[in-house]
Chains A and B, each alone.
Chain A
Amino acid sequence: MSDEMKSSSPQTSGTEPSVSHSTVPIWIIVLTLVLLFLGMVYFDHHSGWFDAQVYGPYASTEELELYQPKSGEAALLARGKAHYDQVCGLCHGVDGLGKPGQAPPLAGSEWVNTKGFERLTHIPLAGVSGQLSVKGQMWSLSMPAMGAAMSDDDLAGVLSYIRNSWGNKGGPVTADEVKAARAALGAHPLPMSGDQMSKMPE
């Protein structure tokens, strides 16, 4: 070290200072490597690997996934409400009370508050045509297959929503169960009449 310092230090008098070769001190190399390592650790923890979906305060896609609203019952019902209000609510009402002469109520309906939901699932998939008694009142209906164009997830959400809203007490319906019902019905099911529906199992 002292030799290097001597050789590279300017001369005190007389001649011009000159440059000579000397080795880089080892501590600079070590410091550089340590800083590089710390930089890589910081990058690993904070960059999110430049993923377009990752913003602060989230540090990675894994952490972002942790904070996604859970795909549990609450998410299913929220999804169901969004679709119900848009598609079903026009006739059945956002309050589920129906429209006189046009759509029977869903709130407190014996067709909704059932143990099983096989029959209920068939209504939006196939539609209803003809006479149907709801809450002691006779309805003459022609409901199109409003659920046929919905995805399994969306229809499961809607069915779960109507079975758990406005005082209704029924279990949730899963997308797999909707899928099975859709497969059982075939491609172009005919609308059901009230008589057919009463003969079906719940």
Chain B
Amino acid sequence: MKNGFLVFLASFVVLGGSWCGFVLAPVLQLGGQQQTTILNSSDVYPVGRPGEANQGLQVYRANGCAACHTEQIQQEGVACDVVLTSVGKNPLAVTNAISGLKLTGLDSVAASAAVDSINAAGGKAEIHINATGPDITRGWGLRHSVAEDFLYDDPVQLGSVRIGPDLADVGTRRPDANWQLLHLYAPQSVVNGSAMPPFRYLFRVQNIGGEPSPDALNLPKGFAPPAGYEVVPTAKARELAAYLLSLQADVPLHDAPFTQPPAVSKP
């Protein structure tokens, strides 16, 4: 072959270059990820999944959930709200101070300035930091996903198609394992007009022998099996539900700061 060495060299440079870009650079950037601490707390994040949930990750993978669901919350912006916590001794001065101010949807500098002017009038105020963006508005999470969220995922299943909702924070949104099981067996029984196919083969429809099983699903009319039968989740269904409950991206971190709303604060 003419110029064989040159052809080899050129293809080596092209492949080596893309390897550096697609493999080496991301590993250098994010390869050393470790547990981190939650903001204003000494708790670490993330903690490993319990064994059942960890097996559920493989069920999630085997059933191709990632074909229709993503596990990545996007955030477009950040907005600060100034919340008055105390009017102090001179409420009139504080009222005057805030009357001309914009108190929501500020950037960090404007929010600090607003707090300073409230403090000068003798009141006290806090800055609440909120993520903004379509995903946040839909209630899919409180902040964007970060690399730490996937520390214990093997493989990481980010997904790229959103036929169904994003699941990165589904464990916070739907913390009830029974709801998850009902939804897996008959999605339309809990979500009207859901496009999700039922995963009935993860369940067993069995004859009620003596006592009904304590695990049997409590299905609404139209979805329940004929009289004398019950629907019992198999180990796989339970693992998948445990995995879904373990998907919780609900704590503020240094790389994704936000102010936790008091209603969602966990025990």
Seen from chain A, the residues whose Cβ lies within 8 Å of a Cβ on chain B are 50, 52-58, 64, 66-70, 74-75, 78-79, 82-83, 151, 154
Q: A73: nearest residue on chain B (CB-CB)?
A: B124
Option from A54, A66, A67, A79 in Cβ contact (under 8 Å) with B41: A79
The segment from B72-80, B159-167, B230-238 found at the interface with A is B72-80
Q: Which 6 residue pairs spanning A and B have beta carbons closest together?
A: A66-B108, A53-B255, A78-B40, A82-B41, A57-B77, A79-B40
Is A75's CB under 8 angstroms from B40's CB?
yes
Is B255's CB under 8 angstroms from A64's CB?
yes
Q: A157: nearest residue on chain B (CB-CB)?
A: B40
Known pairs A55-B256, A151-B42; list 16 more (Cβ under 8 Å).
A52-B33, A52-B255, A55-B255, A56-B75, A57-B77, A58-B78, A64-B254, A67-B78, A67-B108, A67-B257, A68-B254, A68-B257, A69-B39, A79-B41, A82-B41, A83-B42
**B146 touches A (CB below 8 Å):** yes
Whether A56 contacts B144 in the complex (CB less than 8 A), given A66-B108, A68-B39, A68-B257, comes out as yes
Tell me the complex Cα distance, A134–B145, Å.
49
Tell me the complex Cα distance, A69–B253, Å.
10
**Interface positions of B from 69 to 98, Cβ below 8 Å from A:** 75-78, 80, 85
Size bracket, chain B contacts: 20 to 34
Option from B25, B75, B126 in Cβ contact (under 8 Å) with A74: B126
**B105 touches A (CB below 8 Å):** no
**Interface positions of B from 41 to 72, Cβ below 8 Å from A:** 41-43
Question: Would you list 19 pairs from A and B whose C-beta atoms are within 8 A, ordered by A residue?
Answer: A52-B30, A52-B255, A53-B254, A54-B255, A55-B255, A55-B256, A56-B75, A56-B76, A57-B78, A67-B80, A68-B254, A68-B257, A69-B127, A69-B259, A75-B40, A79-B40, A82-B40, A82-B41, A82-B43
| B255 CB contacts on chain A under 8 angstroms | 52-55, 64
Least Cβ distance of A87 to chain B in Å?
11
B23-44 contact mask (Cβ, 8 Å, vs A): 1 or 0: 0010001101100000111110
Least Cβ distance of B51 to chain A in Å?
25
Whether A69 contacts B257 in the complex (CB less than 8 A), given A57-B78, A154-B42, comes out as yes
**Interface positions of B from 217 to 258, Cβ below 8 Å from A:** 252, 254-257
Is A67's CB under 8 angstroms from B42's CB?
no
Least Cβ distance of A44 to chain B in Å?
17
Q: A54: nearest residue on chain B (CB-CB)?
A: B255
| A53 CB contacts on chain B under 8 angstroms | 254-255
Least Cβ distance of B23 to chain A in Å?
15
Whether A57 contacts B109 in the complex (CB less than 8 A), given A69-B39, A75-B40, comes out as no
Q: A63: nearest residue on chain B (CB-CB)?
A: B108
Whether A64 contacts B257 in the complex (CB less than 8 A), given A52-B33, A82-B40, comes out as yes
